[in-house]
Chains A and B, each alone.
Chain A
Amino acid sequence: MTGEPLLRARDLVKQFPVAGTAGLLRPARLFTAVDGVSFDLHAGQTLALVGESGSGKSTTARLAARLIDVTSGTVHLEGRDITALPEKDLGEVRSTIQVVFQDPFSSLNPRHTVERIVTAPLIYQKRQIPGGSRAFAQALLERVGLDPDWVGRYPAQFSGGQAQRIGIARALAVGPRVLVCDEAVSALDVSVQAQIINLLRDLQREEGFGCLFIAHDLAVVRQIATSVAVMTAGKVVEAGERDAVFGDPQHEYTRRLLAAVPRIRPEWEAARRRKAATR
């Protein structure tokens, strides 16, 4: 990829104090969750950060979206340094970068209607809602494959997959250039997961946003990513084009991770696909 990246992270470090280790005159011991991570994310690209629990992949995403502050390192969004942007200026960042979380229900206010939920980002940013709140919400629902007549419903009236579509609709409301998906399909049943993966891919084709996709499921990453960065213990140990990383992994940890993924026997798969093709 050439040209200015949408999102550029350089040498990101995040340390957290370890609870219970601080004394009267002694500072708390520090745990380094992210330890010198760099990456570029371009428009239309999906960069997957993969790793096991505790690898620092989610913390990295939160640093990149300025949901938490870095200990050191820099984040540039469309060429602008947002690392130390004061709180009052973060509104502009929020209209450029949006996040979809793992648990759709806990990230949707149960007492608000869908219309209020999906238009909230615009209202917080004190922006005009094009065409009025109702019509805007209906158009958003249609884009994520939901019935536009559901704008008056509450989150509890939806299934997990539908709720995740609402989370995606809310993220799209501001027309973001970068979408961060933090384990956005991990809690979903396999059939629903397939629908959400397809939806994200379709939306990206239409809108051209860059996607930072955080996941522990390597098979899901294979379906959606264009590039992959493998993390363990706060560091990126291998990064590259998706098929290069999956097809010819260079780092010992990547090889171990890929080898551990359970697989359906290839000969069974081939036989099934042959039969499916004749159905």
Chain B
Amino acid sequence: MSLLSVRDLTVTFGDTAVVGGIGFDLPKGGSLGIVGESGSGKSMTSLAVMGLLPRGAARGGSIVFDGTDLCALTERRMRAIRGDRIAMIFQDPLSSLNPYYTVGTQIAEAYRSHRSGVSRRAARKVAVEAMERVHIKEAGRRVDDYPHQFSGGMRQRVMIAMALSTEPELIIADEPTTALDVTVQAQILDLLAEVRRDTGAALIMITHDLAVVSEVADTVVVMRHGDVVETGSTEQIFSDPQHPYTQALLDAVPRIDDEIGDLRLLSGGEA
């Protein structure tokens, strides 16, 4: 059975649909990549799943997570799932962390908000363990440091530690490595893979980077203008894309291993 099953999902602002009735499935422990260019609706899709759409946006369709339709939940019951059984990692870790609190306090409080009756001392221990699991050295000391004392890559490790503290069944990562240097990106992608191996968590990775998706996902959803143009196994999407848009998108990706002459252009592009 699917861990997550999305059907006819729409996101509208007034009369404008930014996600136009899409669907996909994610099995327990699976990893799904949602790729698209800016304006494709990929981030709105992830925010819709989390119930975190901006003000003025309306959500339609169904999002069934482990047998429960998230669209039918009250905000109070959604809060109990979000950040606990479903965790999120965003692009910019600095804006997701509060500069006035130590990272340990933030991990511990996020944990305590989902585990009533846990003492501060026990939550702090969870925070240290979570930081150790994401390979932050001297976690016992660094737990008392503030976000600005960490580099970009280390902050993203802190965010992953926070996401992991409740042992989620699903991690949603929206462009988690886009702001990072390439060597740091490789470390964070390795870390995510290791964490999934150890905990069995499923992953939805939202990104514009096709090469990243090809390394991380086992199923790929290609989005454009709010619609899914193609869904398939990662191997099928990258070795035998069916939709002209997917084919054109892959033709436009610059390769590191060879020069391919003029990059093929997408027809109907506006630039």
Contacts and interface: CB of A to CB of B under 8 A. Distances in A.
A256 B252 contact: no
Contact of B214 (A160, A162, A201, A264): A264
B252 A191 contact: yes
Contacts of B269: 161, 191-192, 195
Interface string A253-265: 0001111111111
Interface stretch (B84-92, B111-119, B260-268): B260-268
A265 to B, nearest CB: 7
Contact of B270 (A162, A257, A258): A162
B249 interface: yes
Given A268-B239, A271-B240, A160 B254 contact: no
Nearest to B39: A189
A192 B263 CA distance: 10
Contacts of B214: 262-265, 268
A188 B271 CA distance: 10
Nearest to B179: A53
Interface string B147-176: 000000000000000000000000000000
Contacts of B184: 52
A258 B38 CA distance: 27
A269 interface: yes
Contacts of B239: 267-269, 271-272, 275
Nearest to A198: B262
Contacts of B215: 262-263
Interface residues of B, number: 43
Most chain B CB within a 10 A radius of its CB, from A197, A272, A276, A279: A272
Contact of A190 (B252, B258, B262): B252
A20 interface: no
Interface string A50-94: 001100000000000000000000000000000000000000000
Interface stretch (A95-103, A121-129, A212-220): A212-220
A263 B238 contact: no
Contacts of B57: none
A190 B253 contact: yes
Interface stretch (B46-54, B59-67, B191-199, B204-212): B204-212
A32 interface: no
Contacts of B182: 52, 216, 218, 257, 260-261
A198 B254 CA distance: 11
Contact of A191 (B185, B240, B265): B265
B241 interface: yes
Given A52-B181, A198-B263, A267-B239, A276 B247 contact: yes
A190 B265 contact: no
B254 A193 contact: yes
A194 B252 contact: yes
Given A260-B183, A262-B209, A262-B214, A194 B258 contact: no
Contacts of A263: 211, 214-215, 256-257
A250 interface: no
A220 B252 CA distance: 11
B15 interface: no
B254 to A, nearest CB: 4
A262 B189 contact: yes
Contacts of B248: 191
B183 A219 contact: no
B181 A276 contact: no
B138 interface: no
A190 B208 contact: yes
B254 A222 contact: yes
Contact of A246 (B240, B256, B264): B256
Contacts of A268: 214, 235, 238-239
A261 B215 CA distance: 11
Contacts of A218: 182, 256
B41 to A, nearest CB: 14
A216 B179 CA distance: 12
B76 interface: no
Interface in A131-153: none
B55 interface: no
A266 interface: yes
B139 interface: no
A164 B271 CA distance: 9
B183 A256 contact: yes
Interface string A170-196: 000000000000000000111111111
6 contacts: A160-B38, A190-B253, A198-B262, A219-B253, A222-B258, A260-B185
Given A53-B181, A195-B271, A269-B238, 19 more contacts: A52-B182, A162-B270, A162-B271, A164-B271, A194-B252, A194-B263, A198-B263, A216-B182, A219-B253, A219-B254, A220-B254, A222-B255, A222-B259, A262-B209, A262-B214, A263-B214, A264-B211, A265-B214, A276-B251
Closest 9 CB pairs of A and B: A161-B271, A194-B263, A52-B181, A271-B239, A260-B186, A262-B211, A268-B239, A189-B37, A194-B252
